[in-house]
A = this chain, B = another copy of it.
């Protein structure tokens, strides 16, 4: 039985991770913490009443080290890097759901998150927790940087192309739409019900912090520079990310060829589903699941491919993917607790 600690259980990702692990036969959550809320977890999240007696505490290193083997850090950006080195030093394994270890360059981190990185030494050691690309590295990793929600959808939607067709792609535009839980559980004027409901808007246009993450991992795949145009929008739903991705090619393409390429690339992946040609995915088919659904339409005259990619931002975009990573790290069945 693996003993798991969840650091930051009072946020939406922390709660989702906790609920997933409640039903996981091979792990037990033995430690849960929050900076803002302490006490019985079932009082912090009444949803959990009758399902757990765990007490949520303030994070204390010694207690963490004593109680846990592997830790989920479900913290705001900047908070993880204060804890990670200590956990690693004590030979604990860590899945960090924040952005702290996703980028590989401390200067990029500083530029996009406006914070000096205080643990740059571990950046190179962190494995990017996207199982479809880095499964074997994740297996051995002590530190997994769980991908951003937008990044997960974007990279999964583009990986097969970038790995094989870089030369013929002339541009990539990602028009992304996210449910509100993607912003985390925090007080903010623009996240109030009356500001979001019956409303819609773009934000951080061409300036979102997931852009360098997407570019970094797609470029690795492409063995060359990929530079996407990325525009996120706030969707008036609780959960789910939809990305409409426009890939312009230099030459002619065909739907069937694209579909086959993806089918082959993701052949053995348990959480990638390709939507049949002629139809489209939809948010609700993935909400509450760890699936990533992908659909294609080709405009033959314009050499354009329109990819629709959907995930649940709290599942495949955060906690679900973290559990998938944990399963790989622990040598469990990869879908355990996720189907």
The interface of chain A, by Cβ under 8 A from chain B, is 12, 22-23, 46-47, 49-51, 171, 173, 175, 177, 180-181, 185, 187-189, 191-203, 205-206, 227, 229, 231, 233, 235-240, 242, 244, 246, 248, 270, 273, 275, 279-289, 291, 293, 297, 299, 302, 304, 306, 308, 339
Contact = CB atoms under 8 A, between A and B. Distances in A.
Contacts of A187: 187-189, 192
A299 B201 contact: no
Given A202-B308, A275-B46, A302-B229, A194 B171 contact: no
A49 B202 contact: no
Contact of A198 (B206, B227, B237, B248): B237
Nearest to A43: B276
Nearest to A207: B297
16 contacts: A46-B275, A46-B282, A46-B285, A49-B293, A181-B194, A193-B197, A198-B284, A199-B284, A201-B281, A201-B283, A203-B280, A205-B297, A229-B304, A231-B306, A236-B236, A288-B288
Given A47-B284, A47-B286, A193-B236, 18 more contacts: A46-B279, A46-B281, A47-B289, A49-B285, A51-B339, A173-B173, A175-B246, A191-B194, A193-B196, A197-B197, A199-B283, A199-B284, A200-B282, A201-B242, A201-B280, A229-B299, A233-B242, A236-B237
Given A193-B196, A239-B198, A280 B248 contact: no
